[in-house]
Amino acid sequence: MLISPAQRSFLAVATMLSASNVISDEISFDYVQGTYTFATVDLGASTDEIEGNGIGLSLSLSFHQNFSVTLAVLDTTFDTYQGIDTDTIKITTLGVTAHMPTGSGSELFANLSALKAEVQATDDAGGKGGSDFGYTASTGVRHFVSDKVELEIAVSHAYVFDHANNSLKADARLYIRKRVSLGIGYIAGDNVDSFSLNLRLDV
């Protein structure tokens, strides 16, 4: 079976991390997070855009000093460009994140996850939709710019419904307590732009 460049990158980082004994005490990969998103889809051939709102929940738990298992669910409802009908998309991912400290307050990470997408579309002819399995791979860095502010930048590649999508994510996080933080993020994809607000509890 052929391995994509994103999967090869993940395997290379994971192999490197498996040999590392360095543990970061500053950045946690053990957390539960609730997220609200606002997404805009560019239809390409049309001047109209589809806008949607979503609610998500994610969980990350370490099983090794350099590895954690991740589970995330995001359910988004879109208004069609006519402003009448709605489409619902549910994305579920389950995978592994490899991470390694690269300096004081910095962690390099890579994630590889299985992905399930479920689409429910509604139109005048009745409901329609479908589901498919794919994968998503990402790599990035998390860094504390101060004792209360963390920045994250990541690139990702997803493949589902015979379609590939690449995106860039930027996230800023403010720690209002030692284990509680508020985040604001922006994701720029091939045809989808998303803003997000989240609340995270380190566990």
Q: 103-150: per-residue pLDDT in tens?
A: 889 999 999 999 999 998 776 445 567 899 999 999 999 999 999 999
pLDDT score of 19: 43
pLDDT score of 123: 60
Q: Which residues pair with 188 in a beta bridge?
A: 168, 193
**DSSP H or E segment with residue 1:** none
Cα separation, 159 vs 37, in Å, equals 21
Q: What confidence tens digit (pLDDT) does each residue in 42-97 have? A: 766 655 678 899 999 999 999 999 999 999 999 999 876 555 557 899 999 999 99
- Residue 195 predicted with pLDDT over 90: yes
pLDDT score of 85: 59
pLDDT score of 80: 64
This model's pTM is above 0.85:
no
Q: Give φ, ψ of 8 to 5 degrees.
A: -65, -40
Higher-confidence residue: 181 or 7? 181
pLDDT score of 120: 87
Domain boundaries, the chain: 5-18+26-202
Q: Which CATH number fits domain 5-18+26-202: 3.10.129.10, 2.40.160.20, 3.40.640.10, 1.10.3720.10?
A: 2.40.160.20
Which parts of 65-191 are beta strand (E)? 67-79, 86-103, 106-123, 126-144, 149-160, 163-175, 180-189
Neighbours of 51 (CB within 10 A): 13
- Residue 14 predicted with pLDDT over 80: no
pLDDT score of 103: 86
pLDDT score of 26: 78
